[in-house]
């Protein structure tokens, strides 16, 4: 028998968490057909992986590529990291199902993410969306969740009220349709509009339909409105447990500063749930926070736009009032009105001006303050001889409100603790794009968009020994596969799909920076999707072997 591809001489990390072993791998018709000594086997293509590691392709539990898949269908930013499968439709938001009630909102959101070009929406169901994606082809495998927020908006628009019994039935039937089309479960985003208007019972009722099909419940939890990460995780588990979800998954577990210590408490909640027989899991992301500097100021002072805000900041009496609100006001109580999270403001209220750096948004030079880029607000205040709040206000005025802040270390330490827990896995929370035009004209999230997996392996495994390589690979492969319900991916074993990443642990490195985030990582040599080579010696081959996966309980 001739193999299509044989990968020889590699250190095989099979995704189970077991120590690496030396073996050759034979691939035929898109599947793994042999593991052992295959040096004398006949093969059309052979890849010498001497000195390299061979693992299952990475499975990104949480992405927002719904829009960008249609444009950057080679999925460069993800596949160049070794990701071979990603899960879209997260945080309660999916571009399906579509009705007249939510079409405009979805159109607007999609063109915003796409950076301008209007996307003609010619689908209404998940099935229609899948067909649209398949028409163009993709380099990566995709699994999809259906968003509770989208379903709600499809029936009652953006109204702040409970659905009537008839409307609730309509929502349930839309979820039923998506599950029949192959969704892997339901996602929710309970701090965002319109998910923020939903009571717990509504989400349970809607989720029951997804549970009937074996779907998972994945939630961006209601931390801001409840003003407690712990209460939010409790609510998430309650919804999953009462609806009978196969898995209840806390998406990007990220206790918002300054409530350090919540990460320990939420691990206890997941463990208690598991003791009751509830399959509780979670993922972490790199929350490198980068926002307009003016977002430190409460939204009610900003709602008339930049020009008005600048005028107010120029007036000493008004500035005094704004300062008072910025340093004392609680936004969470108003979360449902504003739909905005006070993450950045939490740093300011805690006096952590040293944790916010000035940054220039990609390729947008500052008018007067370029010299301060990279310095913290505390440092800038000292250099200018003013109070940090006044330094921030002056920067906003001088730069016409086109100035950003960056909290580089935010929550990384909580992530390091959480990733060690057996049920916690990796995710990027990014959307696929490419280091070419038109993407390079837009801002991208450094680390998250292009470097999540290279950072996990290069920095957390090789440099900082946060976890062993084998355990980290498990969290990037078989654990997400098992959680989503992908039974034939995420492991190197005979009969599994041939999704691989072949990488060099000596050179693995995230290369993206705040100045130039559109950089592919180093160290990923080969990526194979469904038995076809998509990345070869670090270059994209242009192949589109990805499949849109549909969940089936059997
Ligand atoms: Zn998300």
Tokens of 268: 């206890």
Residues of the chain above pLDDT 90, percent? 73
Average pLDDT over residues 134-143: 97
Mean pLDDT check: name the lowest of 256-260, 478-482, 545-549.
256-260
- What's the confidence (pLDDT) of residue 108? 85
Identify the band that residue 409 occupies on the pLDDT scale cut at 50, 70 and 90: low
How far is ligand 1, taken at its centre, from the CA of residue 427, in Å?
A: 9
Which residue, 280, 260, 278, is CA-closest to 270? 280
Protein residues within 5 Å, CB atom, of ion ligand 1: 90-91, 429
494-525 pLDDT, tens per residue?
Answer: 999 999 999 999 999 999 987 788 999 999 99
110-129 pLDDT, tens per residue?
Answer: 887 777 667 889 999 999 99
339-370 pLDDT, tens per residue?
Answer: 566 677 878 888 889 888 888 664 567 778 88
The label of the residue with tokens 């927002």 reads 64
Q: Cis ω on the peptide bond leading into residue 522 (within 30° of 0)?
A: no
Identify the band that residue 403 occupies on the pLDDT scale cut at 50, 70 and 90: confident
Q: With 80 as the cut, is the pLDDT of residue 292 above it?
A: yes
How far is ligand 1, taken at its centre, from the CA of residue 190, in Å?
A: 12
Average pLDDT over residues 538-546: 97
- What's the confidence (pLDDT) of residue 333? 58
Q: With 60 as the cut, is the pLDDT of residue 3 above it?
A: yes
Please give the Cα distance from 212 to 149 (Å, whole number).
Answer: 20
Average pLDDT over residues 17-45: 97
How far is ligand 1, taken at its centre, from the CA of residue 384, in Å?
A: 38
How far is ligand 1, taken at its centre, from the CA of residue 274, in Å?
A: 24
Residues paired with residue 350 on neighbouring β-strands, in sequence order: none
How far is ligand 1, taken at its centre, from the CA of residue 429, in Å?
A: 5
Average pLDDT over residues 59-70: 95
Helix (H, G, I), strand (E, B) or coil at 390: helix
- What's the confidence (pLDDT) of residue 335? 56
How far is ligand 1, taken at its centre, from the CA of residue 57, in Å?
A: 21
How far is ligand 1, taken at its centre, from the CA of residue 80, in Å?
A: 21
Per-residue CA distances from 325 to 331, 345, 388, 431 (Å): 10, 10, 15, 35
- What's the confidence (pLDDT) of residue 191? 87
How far is ligand 1, taken at its centre, from the CA of residue 3, in Å?
A: 40
How far is ligand 1, taken at its centre, from the CA of residue 493, in Å?
A: 31
How far is ligand 1, taken at its centre, from the CA of residue 448, in Å?
A: 12
Identify the band that residue 257 occupies on the pLDDT scale cut at 50, 70 and 90: low
Average pLDDT over residues 474-484: 98
Q: What is the dihedral of CA 107, 62, 159, 289, to 10 degrees?
A: -90
How far is ligand 1, taken at its centre, from the CA of residue 333, in Å?
A: 22
Average pLDDT over residues 291-295: 86
Could you write out the DSSP letters of every residue in 125-138? SHHHHHHHHHHH--
- What's the confidence (pLDDT) of residue 80? 98
How far is ligand 1, taken at its centre, from the CA of residue 220, in Å?
A: 7
- What's the confidence (pLDDT) of residue 12? 98
How far is ligand 1, taken at its centre, from the CA of residue 498, in Å?
A: 28
- What's the confidence (pLDDT) of residue 410? 56
- What's the confidence (pLDDT) of residue 167? 98
Average pLDDT over residues 382-409: 89
- What's the confidence (pLDDT) of residue 366? 76
Greater model confidence, 304 or 414: 304
Mean pLDDT check: name the lowest of 4-18, 161-175, 438-452.
438-452
How far is ligand 1, taken at its centre, from the CA of residue 262, in Å?
A: 20
For residues 263 and 414, the answer to whether their CB atoms sit within 8 Å is yes
How far is ligand 1, taken at its centre, from the CA of residue 187, in Å?
A: 10
Average pLDDT over residues 19-44: 97
Q: With 70 as the cut, is the pLDDT of residue 239 above it?
A: yes
Q: With 80 as the cut, is the pLDDT of residue 226 above it?
A: yes
- What's the confidence (pLDDT) of residue 408? 65
- What's the confidence (pLDDT) of residue 378? 94
How far is ligand 1, taken at its centre, from the CA of residue 64, in Å?
A: 6
Which residue, 48, 46, 65, 56, is CA-closest to 17? 56
How far is ligand 1, taken at its centre, from the CA of residue 251, in Å?
A: 7
How far is ligand 1, taken at its centre, from the CA of residue 284, in Å?
A: 11
Average pLDDT over residues 45-64: 97
Please give the Cα distance from 477 to 491 (Å, whole number).
Answer: 7
Q: How does the average pLDDT of the chain come out, rounded?
A: 92
For residues 411 and 263, the answer to whether their CB atoms sit within 8 Å is no
Mean pLDDT check: name the lowest of 52-66, 257-271, 454-468, 477-491.
257-271
How far is ligand 1, taken at its centre, from the CA of residue 62, in Å?
A: 6
Looking at residue 262, what DSSP letter applies?
A: H
Identify the band that residue 337 occupies on the pLDDT scale cut at 50, 70 and 90: low
- What's the confidence (pLDDT) of residue 255? 61
Phi, psi of 243 (to 5 degrees): -90, -5
How far is ligand 1, taken at its centre, from the CA of residue 63, in Å?
A: 6
CA atoms within a 13 Å half-sphere pointing along the CA-CB vector of 58? 29
155-212 pLDDT, tens per residue?
Answer: 999 999 999 999 999 999 999 999 999 999 999 999 888 999 999 999 999 999 999 9
How far is ligand 1, taken at its centre, from the CA of residue 286, in Å?
A: 12
454-476 pLDDT, tens per residue?
Answer: 999 999 999 999 999 999 999 99
Q: With 90 as the cut, is the pLDDT of residue 87 above it?
A: yes
How far is ligand 1, taken at its centre, from the CA of residue 89, in Å?
A: 9
* HEC letters along 296-316: HCCHHHCCCCHHHHHHHHHCH
Q: For the purposes of burial, counting CB atoms within 10 Å of the CB of 370, is it exposed (0-12), middle (13-18) or buried (19 or more)?
A: exposed
Helix (H, G, I), strand (E, B) or coil at 285: coil
- What's the confidence (pLDDT) of residue 552? 87
Mean pLDDT check: name the lowest of 5-9, 146-150, 323-327.
323-327
- What's the confidence (pLDDT) of residue 339? 59
Please give the Cα distance from 141 to 78 (Å, whole number).
Answer: 11
How far is ligand 1, taken at its centre, from the CA of residue 399, in Å?
A: 30
How far is ligand 1, taken at its centre, from the CA of residue 222, in Å?
A: 13
Identify the band that residue 259 occupies on the pLDDT scale cut at 50, 70 and 90: low
Which residues are within 8 A (CB) of 163 and not within 5 positions of it... i.e. 6 or more apart?
152, 155, 156, 170, 171, 202
How far is ligand 1, taken at its centre, from the CA of residue 109, in Å?
A: 14
How far is ligand 1, taken at its centre, from the CA of residue 30, in Å?
A: 31
Average pLDDT over residues 143-160: 96
């Amino acid at each position: 028998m001739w193999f299509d591809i044989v990968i020889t001489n590699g250190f095989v990390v099979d995704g189970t968490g077991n120590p690496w072993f030396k073996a050759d791998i034979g691939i035929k018709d898109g599947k793994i057909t042999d593991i052992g000594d295959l040096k004398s086997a006949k093969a059309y293509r052979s890849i010498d992986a001497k000195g390299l590691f061979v693992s299952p392709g990475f499975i990104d539990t949480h992405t927002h590529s719904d829009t960008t898949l249609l444009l950057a269908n080679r999925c460069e930013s993800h596949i160049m990291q070794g990701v071979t499968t990603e899960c879209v439709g997260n945080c309660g938001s999916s571009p399906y199902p579509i009705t007249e009630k939510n079409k405009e909102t979805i159109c607007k959101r999609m063109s915003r993410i796409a950076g301008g070009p209007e996307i003609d929406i010619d689908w209404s169901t998940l099935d229609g969306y899948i067909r649209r994606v398949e028409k163009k082809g993709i380099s990566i495998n995709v699994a999809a969740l259906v968003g509770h927020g989208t379903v709600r908006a499809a029936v009652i628009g953006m109204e702040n009220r409970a659905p009537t019994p008839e409307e609730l039935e309509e929502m349930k039937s839309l979820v039923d349709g998506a599950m029949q089309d192959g969704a892997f479960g339901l996602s929710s985003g309970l701090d965002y509009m319109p998910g923020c208007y939903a009571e717990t019972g509504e989400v349970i009722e809607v989720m029951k339909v997804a549970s009937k099909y074996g779907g998972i419940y994945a939630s961006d939890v209601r931390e801001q409105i409840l003003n407690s990460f712990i209460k939010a995780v409790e609510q998430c588990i309650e919804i999953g447990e009462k609806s009978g979800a196969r898995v209840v998954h806390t998406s990007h577990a990220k206790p918002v500063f300054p409530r350090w210590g919540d990460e320990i408490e939420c691990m206890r909640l997941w463990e208690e749930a598991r003791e009751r027989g509830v399959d509780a899991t979670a993922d972490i992301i790199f929350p490198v926070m980068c926002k307009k500097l003016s977002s430190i100021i409460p939204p009610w002072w900003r709602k008339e736009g930049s020009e008005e805000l600048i005028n107010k900041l120029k007036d000493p009496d008004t500035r005094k009032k704004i300062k008072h609100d910025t340093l004392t006001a609680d936004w969470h109580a108003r979360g449902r009105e504003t739909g905005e999270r006070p993450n950045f403001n939490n740093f300011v209220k805690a006096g952590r001006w040293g944790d916010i750096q000035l940054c220039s948004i990609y390729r947008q030079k500052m008018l007067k303050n370029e010299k301060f880029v990279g310095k913290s607000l505390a440092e800038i205040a000292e250099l200018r001889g003013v109070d940090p709040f006044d330094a921030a206000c002056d920067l906003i005025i001088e730069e016409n409100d086109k100035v950003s802040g960056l909290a580089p270390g935010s929550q990384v330490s909580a992530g390091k603790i959480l990733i060690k827990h057996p049920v916690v896995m990796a995710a990027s929370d990014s959307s696929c794009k490419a280091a070419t035009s038109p993407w390079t004209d837009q801002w991208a999230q450094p680390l998250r968009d292009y470097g999540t997996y290279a950072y996990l392996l290069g920095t957390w495994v090789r440099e900082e020994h946060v976890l062993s390589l084998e355990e980290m690979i498990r969290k990037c492969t078989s654990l997400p596969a098992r959680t989503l319900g992908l039974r034939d991916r995420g492991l190197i074993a005979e009969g599994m799909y041939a999704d691989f990443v072949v990488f060099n642990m000596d050179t693995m490195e995230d290369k993206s920076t705040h100045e130039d985030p559109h950089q592919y990582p180093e160290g990923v040599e080969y990526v194979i999707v469904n038995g076809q080579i998509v990345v070869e010696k670090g270059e994209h081959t242009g192949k589109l072997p990805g499949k849109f996966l549909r969940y089936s309980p059997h």
